[in-house]
Amino acid sequence: MLVEIRAGIHAWVQPDGSWWLNNAGAITTEAGQLVVDTCATATRARRFLDALEAATGRAPKLAVNTHQHGDHTYGNSLLPAETVIIGQEKMREGLRVDPIIDGCPPFWSPVPDWGDVERRLPDVTVAEALTVHLGERRVELRHPGGPAHTTGDLVAWIPDERVLFTGDLVFAGLTPLVFMGSVTGALAAVDWLAAFQPEVVVPGHGPILSGDDIARVLDEHRRYYRLVLQAGADGIERGLSPLDAARGVDLDEFAGWADAERLVLNLHRFYADHDGKELELIAAFTDAVTYNGGPLPTRV
Ligand SMILES: [Zn+2]
* Residue 300 alpha carbon to ligand 1 centre in Å: 15
* Residue 153 alpha carbon to ligand 1 centre in Å: 9
Q: What's the Cα-to-Cα distance from 271 to each of 116, 147, 186, 189, 275, rounded to whole Å?
A: 37, 15, 15, 20, 6
* Residue 138 alpha carbon to ligand 1 centre in Å: 25
* Residue 68 alpha carbon to ligand 1 centre in Å: 7
- Contacts for 81 with CB less than 8 Å, ≥ 6 apart: none
Question: If pLDDT is split at 50, 70 and 90, which confidence band does 53 have?
Answer: very high
Question: If pLDDT is split at 50, 70 and 90, which confidence band does 3 have?
Answer: very high
Which domains can be identified in the chain, with CATH numbers? 2-297 (3.60.15.10)
Report cis status (omega within 30 of 0) of the bond before 213. Answer: no
Report cis status (omega within 30 of 0) of the bond before 242. Answer: no
* Residue 136 alpha carbon to ligand 1 centre in Å: 31
* Residue 101 alpha carbon to ligand 1 centre in Å: 14
* Residue 73 alpha carbon to ligand 1 centre in Å: 10
Question: If pLDDT is split at 50, 70 and 90, which confidence band does 118 have?
Answer: very high
* Residue 76 alpha carbon to ligand 1 centre in Å: 15
* Residue 168 alpha carbon to ligand 1 centre in Å: 5
Task: List, in sequence order, every residue forming a beta bridge with 297; answer none if it has no partner.
Answer: 109
Give the predicted TM-score (pTM) of the model.
Answer: 0.98
* Residue 176 alpha carbon to ligand 1 centre in Å: 9
* Residue 175 alpha carbon to ligand 1 centre in Å: 12
Give the whole-angstrom CA distance, residue 298 versus residue 20: 7
**What DSSP string describes 214-277?**
HHHHHHHHHHHHHHHHHHHHHHHHTT--HHHHHHT---GGGTTSB-TTHHHHHHHHHHHHHHT-
pLDDT tens digit sequence for 247-293: 999 999 999 999 999 999 999 999 999 999 999 999 999 999 999 99
pLDDT at 37: 98
Report the SS3 class of residue 32. Answer: strand
Give the whole-angstrom CA distance, residue 13 versus residue 1: 5
Give the whole-angstrom CA distance, residue 86 versus residue 27: 14
Q: What is the mean pLDDT of the chain?
A: 98
Q: Which of 138, 44, 33, 146 is nearest to 88 (CA)?
A: 146
* Residue 169 alpha carbon to ligand 1 centre in Å: 8
- Of all residues in the chain, the percent with pLDDT exceeding 70 is 100
Report yes or no: 82 and 33 within 8 Å, Cβ to Cβ.
Answer: no
pLDDT tens digit sequence for 206-255: 999 999 999 999 999 999 999 999 999 999 999 999 999 999 999 999 99
* Residue 171 alpha carbon to ligand 1 centre in Å: 9
* Residue 30 alpha carbon to ligand 1 centre in Å: 31
